[in-house]
Amino acid sequence: MELRHLRYFRMVATELHFGRAAEKLHIAQPPLSKQIQDLEAELGFELFTRTKRSVALTPAGQVFLVEVTQIFQKLDRAIDLGRKTSRGELGKISIGFVGSATYNILPVILQQFRDRYPYVQIELHELTTDRQLIWLREGRIDIGLIRPPVIDVYLGSQVIFQESLVVALPTNHHLAVLTTIELSSLAAERFILFPRQLAPGLYDPIIAICQAAGFSPQVVQECIQMQTIVSLVSANMGVSILPASIQEAQRQGVVYKPIRSGSGAADKLATMSIFWRLSDDSPTMNRLLELALENREL
Amino acid sequence: MELRHLRYFRMVATELHFGRAAEKLHIAQPPLSKQIQDLEAELGFELFTRTKRSVALTPAGQVFLVEVTQIFQKLDRAIDLGRKTSRGELGKISIGFVGSATYNILPVILQQFRDRYPYVQIELHELTTDRQLIWLREGRIDIGLIRPPVIDVYLGSQVIFQESLVVALPTNHHLAVLTTIELSSLAAERFILFPRQLAPGLYDPIIAICQAAGFSPQVVQECIQMQTIVSLVSANMGVSILPASIQEAQRQGVVYKPIRSGSGAADKLATMSIFWRLSDDSPTMNRLLELALENREL
DNA sequence: TACAATTGATACTTTTAAAGTATTAATCGG
DNA sequence: CCGATTAATACTTTAAAAGTATCAATTGTA
């Protein structure tokens, strides 16, 4: 049995006239009769009761017609789903991100992606850099938003966001009255930073600019969550240097001050990259990647 | 697109190897490659990502595979439903019957039919003879259980049940002590019968045997429902002559007595026939007809 | 009642496309 | 680097679908 048989059957069942049906199918009448006969022989039951002058569906033919119509609908749907999937308009994508991406690039990308591809299911995982790399390799996430550098030959990456660093001070700090902060004035302060292990891409530049300003920061506390660092600053436990986008989440008891860019070295030092498996060619991943690169802020 | 393309696609998707898939399909590998290429060209998207050494489904191919599998299941089901319908194992049948069929042939037929064809939906309509004929011609019922004679060239009929007539007497009637009744002894009684118009096939033989016994019955009341006749007899309104199967529904205050068959004329005078449209060739109707004729009681 | 029109089936021919054969090109493992 | 593996390509053969001509049965009308 081939779809041709079912298409022909449907036309004859609609027209109830072999001549007209053949005409609509753009074939001659004898091959149409033949195909219907073949179909009936294969099915093992009659689809039509024919006299020399008229054609009518048998009860079995009626039942079969309903089913066949649904089959064609299902086939159309199958093709449509396949096409949408191939375009990345349908499917699933798993995105990993470090907490600090929440304040800048992630919401922008998510909103645009949802607008463009509303039928793609998005799965979000807030993960530390190292976990993201593991999950990426294992295929548990398809995209990672990570602060470079990361060296992995199986992963592709692109910088998608760069921002300046700011100093976070308790409101009652004596430097909090200034509009910009000279880094060297923080030489004696106690610092609260991310653990180097989890975010070397953020940690190392901070240490570097401090040393360029003539001091090594005294780190008294390390915190995994950026929000926790802010809390500790507000509680007068110390000061911190953070990506500028932290200012999106304002908090009582803390003020953020730009670093005076005498050397210019403090500008755009916090970078965020998008990572993916080089072996992954899935349409949804490619669409998300395209969109992320379109929205680069460097 | 033909089912062949989908069958081949399914096999390649299962094997993920053109050579093995071709072998299982009992064709050579090159035509299989060709058919898959044709399918992809028609669909407008790739189903497989192939290197010279390996084959894998694209995301679109995965989605399409799921749908195609369902399509084949649906096709199998369509064939099965059609076959069952052609055998009369699936479908619907509408049966009309006169009230008095309830006591004899109808329950037998219904139970057997349900046992044999449990997936056929049965619709029952208790109707007078004349309404059944109208409904039959209009196609509102497919089968009628009617007391003949009926003359209609568009309908087929077969006698399926014949039974004797009995006399229904009030319990306190002076003849109620006898085991059989001589008809002539009822000459002076008041009779309660069906209206002739609604059941001439029952009415006329009753009148005939009475006249053969030497009297014309005095009909004081006509009732459409057999149960109502029995009620009136129990209420001492008169006597009646009814088909023997009425004894299935015993009732206080009424006794039934066989007619003494001196002449033999009272035997098997009440007949029930099955009627159908001669133009109707539906499998369910044919199965019911077969079954009714198998269960003939003459 | 007979005859023309209608309509599906049959017999046979042509055309299309599916399947087969031989071979190539690329990849991978040893 | 060589041989085995595997999908693709080029070309031939074969099968089956479509076309043509005609028949046979039915219907309705002259």
* Range A242-252 average pLDDT: 86
CA distance B134 to B277: 11
Q: What is the mean pLDDT of chain A?
A: 89
Of the listed ranges A270-279, B49-58, B243-252, B261-270, the least confidently predicted one is: B261-270
DSSP E strand boundaries for chain B: 48-50, 55-57, 91-97, 120-126, 143-146, 155-163, 165-170, 190-193, 218-222, 240-243, 254-258, 270-277
CA distances from A222 to A98, A146, A166 (A): 16, 19, 17
CB contact under 8 A, A59 and B2: no
Helix axes A105-116, A283-294, angle to 10 degrees: 130
Look at residue A239 and tell me whether its pLDDT is greater than 90: yes
* Range A98-127 average pLDDT: 91
* Range A119-140 average pLDDT: 91
Q: What is the pLDDT of residue A73?
A: 96
* Range B238-267 average pLDDT: 82
H or E segment at B106? helix B105-116
Q: What is the pLDDT of residue A174?
A: 87
Report the percent of chain B where pLDDT is more than 70.
98
**Highest-scoring range by mean pLDDT, A44-53, A77-86, B43-52:** A77-86
Instruction: Looking at the complex, report in whole angstroms how far the Cα of residue A21 sits from the nearest Cα belonging to chain B.
Output: 19
* Strand nucleotide closest to residue A29 (CA to C1'): C8
Q: Find the Å distance, CA of residue B53 to C1' of nucleotide C22.
A: 21
Q: Which of A45, A71, A81 sits opposite B63 (nearest CB)?
A: A81
pLDDT in tens, B48-97: 998 777 889 999 999 999 999 999 999 999 999 999 999 999 999 999 99
CA distances from A293 to A39, A273, A298, B201, B279 (A): 55, 10, 11, 91, 72
* Range A222-235 average pLDDT: 88
Which residue out of B1, B3, B76 would a mutagenesis test of the A interface target, given it has the greatest number of A Cβ atoms within 10 Å?
B3
CA distance B272 to A1: 47
Split at pLDDT 50, 70, 90, the class of B264 is: low
Q: Is the CB of B220 under 7 A from strand C?
A: no
* Range B28-44 average pLDDT: 93
Interface membership of B91 toward A (CB under 8 Å): yes
Split at pLDDT 50, 70, 90, the class of B263 is: low
| Structure tokens belonging to residue A15 | 């027209």
Split at pLDDT 50, 70, 90, the class of A11 is: very high
Q: What is the pLDDT of residue B248?
A: 84
A64 near B60, Cβ under 8 Å?
A: no
pLDDT in tens, A158-216: 999 988 888 999 999 888 888 888 888 888 889 999 888 888 888 888 888 888 888 88
Q: What is the topology classification, in CATH, of domain B165-267?
A: D-Maltodextrin-Binding Protein; domain 2 (3.40.190)
Look at residue B256 and tell me whether its pLDDT is greater than 80: yes
Look at residue A264 and tell me whether its pLDDT is greater than 60: no
Check if B3-86 and B91-162+271-294 are the same fold: no
Q: Which residues of A222-250 are buried (b: 16+ CB within 10 A; e: fewer)?
A: bbeebeebbbbbbeeebbbbbbbbbeeee
Partners of A61 on chain B (C-beta within 8 Å) are: 82
Residue count of chain B: 298
* Range A274-295 average pLDDT: 91
* Range B119-136 average pLDDT: 92
Look at residue A266 and tell me whether its pLDDT is greater than 60: no
Q: Is the CB of B2 under 7 A from strand C?
A: yes
Q: Dihedrals φ, ψ of A45, to 5°?
A: -150, 160
pLDDT in tens, B177-194: 888 888 888 988 999 998
Look at residue B205 and tell me whether its pLDDT is greater than 80: yes
- Provide the sign of the torsion angle of the four alpha carbons A289, A290, A293, A294, taken in this order: negative
B81 near B89, Cβ under 8 Å?
A: no
**Closest chain B residue to A283, measured at CA:** B59
Q: What is the pLDDT of residue B232?
A: 93
What DSSP string runs through B212-242?
Answer: HTT---EEEEE-SSHHHHHHHHHTTS-BEEE
Q: What is the pLDDT of residue A41?
A: 93
The residue that leads in pLDDT, A6 or A196, is: A6
Output A218-222 pairs: Cβ under 8 A, ≥24 positions apart: A218/A189, A218/A190, A218/A191, A219/A191, A219/A192, A219/A193, A220/A190, A220/A191, A220/A192, A221/A192, A221/A193, A222/A192, A222/A193, A222/A194, A222/A195, A222/A196
Q: What is the pLDDT of residue A224?
A: 83
Q: Which residues contact A85 (CB under 8 A, 6 or more apart)?
A: A91, A283, B45, B59, B60, B62, B63, B64
* Range A105-126 average pLDDT: 93
Architecture, CATH, for domain B3-86: Orthogonal Bundle (1.10)
Split at pLDDT 50, 70, 90, the class of B260 is: confident
Look at residue B26 and tell me whether its pLDDT is greater than 90: yes
Look at residue B292 and tell me whether its pLDDT is greater than 80: yes
Q: Find the Å distance, CA of residue A194 to C1' of nucleotide D11.
A: 69
Domain boundaries in chain A?
3-86, 91-162+271-294, 165-267
Split at pLDDT 50, 70, 90, the class of B227 is: confident
Q: What is the pLDDT of residue B197?
A: 84
Look at residue B278 and tell me whether its pLDDT is greater than 80: yes
Q: What is the pLDDT of residue B66?
A: 95
CA distances from A289 to A95, A122, A252, A265, B202 (A): 11, 14, 37, 30, 88
B193 near B284, Cβ under 8 Å?
A: no
Q: What is the pLDDT of residue A263?
A: 54
| Structure tokens belonging to residue B210 | 């009475």
pLDDT in tens, B91-122: 999 999 998 888 888 999 999 999 999 999 99
Q: What is the pLDDT of residue B54?
A: 81
Q: Which residues contact A167 (CB under 8 A, 6 or more apart)?
A: A175, A181, A183, A186, A239, A240, A241, A256, A257, A258, A259
Split at pLDDT 50, 70, 90, the class of B24 is: very high
Partners of A117 on chain B (C-beta within 8 Å) are: none
Split at pLDDT 50, 70, 90, the class of B262 is: low
Partners of A64 on chain B (C-beta within 8 Å) are: 78-79, 81-82, 85
CATH 3.30.160.270 fits A91-162+271-294, yes or no: no
Look at residue B261 and tell me whether its pLDDT is greater than 80: no
